Amino acid sequence: MKQTTDFSKMKESNEKIVMITAYDYPSAKLAEQSGVDMILVGDSLGMVVLGYESTVPVTMEDMIHHTKAVKRGAKNSFIVVDMPFLTYHLTIKDALVNAGRLIQETGANAVKLEGAEGVIEKISALTRAGIPVCGHLGLTPQSVGVLGGYKVQAKESSEARKLIADAKRVEEAGAFALVLECVPKQLANEVTKSVSIPVIGIGAGIDVDGQVLVFHDILGYGVERVPKFVKQYTSLNPLINESIESYTADVKNNLFPEDKHSFTMKEQELKALYG
């Protein structure tokens, strides 16, 4: 299994880091089999697999439940788990207790926290307590209400300057990596050069140390519309629809099950049964 230090080495040697989300046993197993470098149990699970409008309703129990399943599917992968909305903002003690649960109860390797203001001190406290932390700047979906929607962040120079400073603070606080979401590619490149920790982009262009995408987005599985920054490698939705429609038609038309799907009783047992 890769360690946090392997990811810094990958940055140094210009080897791209591949991260993908997973939310359950099969997605985790397939991600690990496909050779990704790390798995994120994102709180995007609230939208992708629980059907919420945002990540805000996701609870500690949701994250623990799903991360346990991911761990069972990907025993040899480095797993990062998102701390849900408002579970690291109240006090440092709160952040420690919640991060501790996420790590201890699930077997995940690290936690991810969104933002900088009021969060930097939590990153230091968790790191000092021995919990590896991944930062998350740019578009931070847990703040969608404040940001006014899911849109590109830090397009203006003053916001860009602030973001670069925040990335440095996240690094100084001890984070081992930083997710940078939905920012102009030039800014992402600047951030990547400004910090020594790996920067993993999503909607942040190519000049970063790695990429992360949502499992269901790249496979076109369940999701309807995907953001501009997603590359869809296949579209499972129509395949799944066609398969379930065929199954439905087969059952309605007495075409399923066939003999090969059925079990039989021996002739003599049948006689004994009916006399």
Q: Annotated catalytic sites, by residue?
A: 181
How many Å apart are CA 182 and CA 4, to the nearest integer? 24
Q: Which stretch binds Na ion (CB under 5 A): 15-23, 79-87, 188-196, 216-224?
A: 79-87
Q: Which stretch binds Na ion (CB under 5 A): 76-84, 120-128, 203-211, 244-252?
A: 76-84
Check whether 43 is labelled as a binding-site residue. Answer: yes
Residue among 46, 104, 127 nearest 113 (CA):
127
Is 115 an interacting residue with respect to ligand KIV (CB under 6 A)?
A: no
Is 202 an interacting residue with respect to ligand KIV (CB under 6 A)?
A: yes
Check whether 235 is labelled as a binding-site residue. Answer: no
Size (the chain), residues:
275
- Cα 111-114-116 angle, rounded to 5 deg: 115
By CB atoms closer than 10 A (0-12, 13-18, 19+), residue 235 is: exposed
Residues 1-40: x where in contact with ligand KIV by CB under 6 A, - otherwise, as a string:
--------------------x------------------x
CB count in 10 Å sphere of residue 72: 14
H-helix or E-strand spanning residue 100: helix 92-104
Check whether 16 is labelled as a binding-site residue. Answer: no
Per CB under 6 A, which of residues 166..185 are in contact with ligand KIV? 179, 181
Distances (CA, A) of 97 to 82, 172, 270: 14, 22, 63
- Angle of helix 25-33 relative to helix 60-73, nearest 10 degrees? 40
Q: Which is nearer to Na ion, 7 or 23 (CB)?
A: 23
N-term to C-term CA, the chain: 63
Per CB under 5 A, which of residues 35..54 are in contact with Na ion? 42-43
Residue of 27, 44, 67, 109 that binds ligand KIV (CB under 6 A): 44
Q: Which stretch binds Na ion (CB under 5 A): 13-21, 34-42, 162-170, 236-244?
A: 34-42
Check whether 114 is labelled as a binding-site residue. Answer: yes
Token duo for residue 81:
């788990």
Q: Which is nearer to ligand KIV, 226 or 236 (CB)?
A: 226
Is 67 an interacting residue with respect to ligand KIV (CB under 6 A)?
A: no
Most distant CA pair in the chain: distance in Å? 90
Is 82 an interacting residue with respect to ligand KIV (CB under 6 A)?
A: yes
Check whether 262 is labelled as a binding-site residue. Answer: no
Residues that bind Na ion (CB under 5 A): 42-43, 82
Binding residues for 3-methyl-2-oxobutanoate: 43-44, 82, 112
